[in-house]
Amino acid sequence: MRYVLKKLATTLITLLCISFLVYLAFDIIPGDAALASLGTDATPERIEAVREELGLNRPFMERYADWLTGFVRGDFGISYKYNVPVSEMILSKLPINVVMAVTAFIIMAGVSVPVGIYSAKHKGKGVDRLIIVVNQVMMSVPHFFMGILITYIFGLIFKIFTPGGFVSYETDLGGFILYMIFPCIAIALPKIAMSVKLLRGSCIEEAGKDYVRTAYSKGNNTSKVLYRHVLRNAMLPVITLWGMTLADMIVGSIVIEQVFNIPGIGRILLTSISYRDYPVVEAIIVLIALVVIVTNFCVDIIYQIVDPRISAQKNSLSK
Amino acid sequence: MDTENILEINSLNVYYNKKQHVLKDISFSMKKGEILGLVGESGCGKTTLAKAVLGMQRHYDGSISLDCPNPQMVFQDPYSSLNPSKKIGWILEEPMRMKKGKGRLNHTQRQEKVEEMLEKVGLDARIKEHYPSELSGGQRQRIAIAAALLCGTDFLIADEPVSALDVTIQSQIIRLLLKLHKEMGLSILFISHDLRVVYQMCDRVMIMRGGVILEQGYVDDIYKSPQSSYTKLLLEAANIIDF
């Protein structure tokens, strides 16, 4: 429990630092929202008036403190461009990105564990070599390019979905699911490859340890040894990868949105960057950081549950 | 196979990848209740021979006859020989839990057996609630021995079981193995490169080099009048030429 509280405190401090750095970065970058909305032809008096109106002339720390307290309450400010609350803008698009990232994660975990185990179990055989080659290819292809390939193959050749024809879940849930499967696969495929490679290697490494020989000598067959003894230990590095992957998938979903023409947070982010709509950009970046940090926090906790050596080390260190 | 023997090996050749000849024409036998030492430098084939006895070598010719259905092995590294994610109680109970049909023990009976065995190897019964990472090297090696014995074996291969431990713990483990040998009539193939430990432990000894057994015999005979120059060299190096 003490460890969890300690980790939670570190997480909050990290988040605070990130929010400060993000806010500071947008304050330092030349040009501001007033200039962006009026253009370079505007008179200095007019720019100054808009700055005053937006509160940009106030001291930095005062603005940051206001923004931070608002952020904690769920009030991310008002969009300079659309003049609507940022939280509303983000909340209306967030489900799309959450569905994409979570589905991609489930696909990745669901496929990579059995394939990784199968590959390790058949190490050196033809199927294992084939899996290694396919893995290598998938790992070297970035997900946006994978998205283009999937659009071409399943959208244009097999016509399973209409490229660019996004259907909202509010109008047609079935159509939404069918359309979203493909971007999710595009996000998941490179991660599946990494995960399979790591799990395969980890299983093979664990299988060479003495406790595995002991397990065999106790009368366990290969499947029992693999599932009862090897898998839990082999999963440790994979859990770390998955933690980083989940965060990466959320960021990846922003890119893949563009390929599949999905109106998610990525589109808002890109538009907001081009209009210097800082409240929106700051909120999205800090939210992404929040997801990354919270995911890492969860991974640390899961890691401690799965690997008793970590809690043992902590106990001995704290003594 | 002679009924007095627990292990008989005749003209055993072991190969790696069908090409590399690792063990060459190995022949020896081991009596029931005997402690046989196997001495040699690193890479001479001691562990390969142990694996062959356990049926873990694929490419071999010659004959291996073992009069024990479930031979067990105690490894050199006590840190890797126990599953780090399982509690000691789970590890020790496993062979009993796997037993099917008649003679299968219930949870309470299994727990009693585990506690009994822990006592036998000189450990507190409460240790079963701990994970391997919470134990010292000596404690882990005792657990490894207990786990082997709970499989109901009467033949143990101890592959350098004390070389990763410090000297005081080494002597505790040796005393424990000797005690168990005496109490349970355990046959032990004791692999080591430490001639002093072998002298303390074994009835007979085999000296191995380059995949070949150079000489074998009673410990006193070999230590007092070694035949091969390599054995002499080993005894000199260990400073026990006039043992």
Percent of chain B at pLDDT above 70?
Answer: 98
* Rounded distance between C-alpha atoms, residue A136 and residue A131, angstroms: 9
Tens digits of residue pLDDT in B30-41: 999 999 999 998
Closest CA to A188 of A253, A113, A118: A253
Name the strand (E) or helix (H) holding B214.
strand B212-218
Count of C-beta atoms within a 10 Å radius of residue B56: 14
Closest residue to B85, CB basis, from A214, A217, A232: A232
Contact B54 A306 (CB under 8 A): no
Question: CB contact, 8 Å: A209 with chain B?
Answer: yes
Contact B85 A210 (CB under 8 A): no
Residue B214 · residue B28 · CB < 8 Å: no
Identify all chain B residues contacting A309, using CB atoms and an 8 Å cutoff.
84, 131, 133
For residues A39 and B134, which has the higher predicted lDDT (pLDDT)? B134
Identify the band that residue B157 occupies on the pLDDT scale cut at 50, 70 and 90. very high
Residue in this structure with the two tokens 């440790």, named with its chain if needed: A236
Average pLDDT of chain B is 90
Residue range A252-261: mean pLDDT, rounded? 86
Identify the structural domains of chain B with CATH numbers, from first to last: 1-71+154-243 (3.40.50.300), 83-152 (no CATH)
Question: CB contact, 8 Å: B71 with chain A?
Answer: yes
Question: CB contact, 8 Å: B139 with chain A?
Answer: no
Question: CB contact, 8 Å: B56 with chain A?
Answer: yes
Question: Residue B33 corresponds to which tokens in the numbers above?
Answer: 């209740």
Residue in this structure with the two tokens 């106030």, named with its chain if needed: A58
pLDDT at B42 over 90: no
pLDDT at A11 over 90: no
Identify the band that residue A319 occupies on the pLDDT scale cut at 50, 70 and 90. very low
Question: CB contact, 8 Å: A233 with chain B?
Answer: yes
User: What is the pLDDT at residue A97?
Assistant: 87
Residue range A148-157: mean pLDDT, rounded? 92
Residue B97 · residue B106 · CB < 8 Å: no
Contact A211 B73 (CB under 8 A): no
CA angle B46, B51, B56 (to 5 degrees): 155
Residue range A70-91: mean pLDDT, rounded? 89
Tens digits of residue pLDDT in A200-224: 999 999 998 989 988 988 888 888 9
Identify the band that residue A312 occupies on the pLDDT scale cut at 50, 70 and 90. low
Closest residue to B54, CB basis, from A217, A309, A313: A217
Instruction: Give the full edge-to-edge strand order of the sheet including B35-40.
Output: B72-74, B155-159, B187-192, B35-40, B204-209, B212-218
Question: CB contact, 8 Å: A152 with chain B?
Answer: no
Contact B133 A306 (CB under 8 A): no
Percent of chain A at pLDDT above 90?
Answer: 36
Contact B75 A232 (CB under 8 A): no
Highest-pLDDT range among A77-81, B20-24, B36-40: B36-40
Burial call B88-108: b when 16+ CB within 10 Å, e when fewer: bbebbbbbbeeeeeeeeeeee
Q: Could you give the maximum distance between any two Cα atoms of chain B, in Å?
A: 56
User: What is the pLDDT at residue A311?
Assistant: 64
Secondary structure (H, E, C), B184-207? HCCEEEEEECCHHHHHHHCCEEEE
Tens digits of residue pLDDT in B47-58: 999 999 988 888
Identify all chain A residues contacting B131, using CB atoms and an 8 Å cutoff.
308-309, 312
pTM here is: 0.78
Residue B201: what are its φ and ψ, rounded to 5°?
Answer: -90, -40
Contact B98 A309 (CB under 8 A): no
Identify all chain A residues contacting B80, using CB atoms and an 8 Å cutoff.
209-211
Identify all chain B residues contacting A205, using CB atoms and an 8 Å cutoff.
none
Identify the structural domains of chain A with CATH numbers, from first to last: 86-318 (1.10.3720.10)
Closest residue to A211, CB basis, from B70, B80, B131: B80
* Rounded distance between C-alpha atoms, residue A213 and residue A220, angstroms: 10
User: What is the pLDDT at residue A318?
Assistant: 46
Residue range A55-67: mean pLDDT, rounded? 88
Closest CA to A210 of B138, B79, B162, B169: B79
CB pairs under 8 A between A and B: 61
Give A233 to chain B, closest Cα distance, Å. 7
* Rounded distance between C-alpha atoms, residue B179 and residue B163, angstroms: 19
Contact B133 A309 (CB under 8 A): yes
Contact B70 A309 (CB under 8 A): no
Residue range B199-225: mean pLDDT, rounded? 93
Give B78 to chain A, closest Cα distance, Å. 9
Q: List CB contacts of B97: < 8 A, sequence separation 6 or more.
A: B110
